[in-house]
């Protein structure tokens, strides 16, 4: 009887010792896939939209003021067909006066007020590729795990969503493999209400963002 008790006690100590040792270390892995394909994005006018000088008299006092829509030509050239998606990064993160992933900031005035926002829309109807007879847009808010049903509606490109193109209406399998793409991006800029800005001196609109190509 005593022998059995001793054996169980010893087993318990060994088990505790093993668990303690296992909890003192862990493993991690670094994985990835290096692809031979590469894509280079390009924007017309070096990606610069300049509204020039805007008089404060032309700004709405209590509501935002929409500036004229501007268009940019987008070219994405790859050295071979590849599945990819697009995403934007706001280089003035936190300065948009409306909180949404599709809105990008224009910076702050000298009193720290948010100057306004801008957003960019891709229109599948104005998008052409070298291989797809018809282009539809698709979007993923899950990092490419699931995709929205592809359609021909314009899409506002977001900072946390993936935007891609396919040739199959209603497809939920994500972007098709594309080598060369040409599209027109509409840029809408909205200046915050004049009452919310410090206009005692000139205010520099300083929007900046980065278009990223994500290989799938």
Residues pairing with 89 in the sheet: 210
Structure tokens at 199: 């206009």
Range of the domain at 175: 37-215
- Spatial distance between the Cα atoms of 186 and 126, rounded to a whole number of angstroms: 10
Q: Is residue 196 part of a domain?
A: yes
pLDDT tens-digit profile, the chain (216 residues) = 333 333 333 333 334 344 555 567 777 667 565 666 789 999 998 888 899 999 999 999 999 999 999 999 999 999 999 999 999 999 999 999 999 999 999 999 999 999 999 999 999 999 999 888 899 999 999 999 999 999 999 999 999 999 999 999 999 999 999 999 999 999 999 999 999 999 999 999 999 999 999 999
Please provide the DSSP assignment of 9-29 as one string: HHHHHHHHHHHHHHTT-----
Give the number of residues written for the chain. 216
pTM summary value = 0.81
Q: Is residue 135 part of a domain?
A: yes
Q: Is residue 23 part of a domain?
A: no
* Buried b or exposed e, range 179-192, using 16+ CB within 10 angstroms: bebebbbbbbbbbb
Q: State residue 5's pLDDT score.
A: 34
Count up the domains in the chain and report the number.
Answer: 1
Closest CA to 108 of 97, 120, 119: 97
């Amino acid at each position: 009887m005593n022998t059995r008790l001793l054996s169980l006690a010893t087993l318990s100590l060994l088990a505790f010792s093993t668990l303690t040792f296992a909890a003192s270390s862990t493993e991690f892995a670094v994985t990835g896939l290096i692809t031979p394909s590469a894509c280079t994005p390009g924007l017309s006018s070096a990606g610069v939209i300049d509204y020039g000088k805007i008089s404060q008299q032309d700004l709405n006092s209590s509501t935002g003021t929409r500036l004229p829509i501007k268009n940019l030509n987008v070219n994405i050239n790859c050295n071979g067909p590849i599945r990819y998606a697009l995403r934007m990064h706001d280089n003035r993160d936190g300065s948009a006066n409306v909180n949404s992933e599709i809105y990008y900031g224009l910076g702050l005035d000298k009193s720290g007020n948010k100057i306004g926002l801008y957003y960019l829309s891709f229109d599948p109807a104005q998008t052409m590729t070298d291989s797809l007879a018809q282009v539809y847009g698709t979007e993923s808010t899950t990092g490419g795990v699931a995709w929205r049903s592809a359609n021909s509606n314009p899409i506002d490109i977001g900072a946390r969503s993936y935007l891609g193109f396919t040739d199959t209406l209603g497809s939920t399998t994500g972007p098709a493999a594309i080598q060369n793409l040409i599209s027109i991006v509409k840029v809408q800029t909205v200046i915050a209400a004049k009452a919310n800005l410090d206009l005692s001196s000139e205010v520099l609109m300083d929007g900046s963002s980065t278009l990223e190509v994500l290989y799938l």
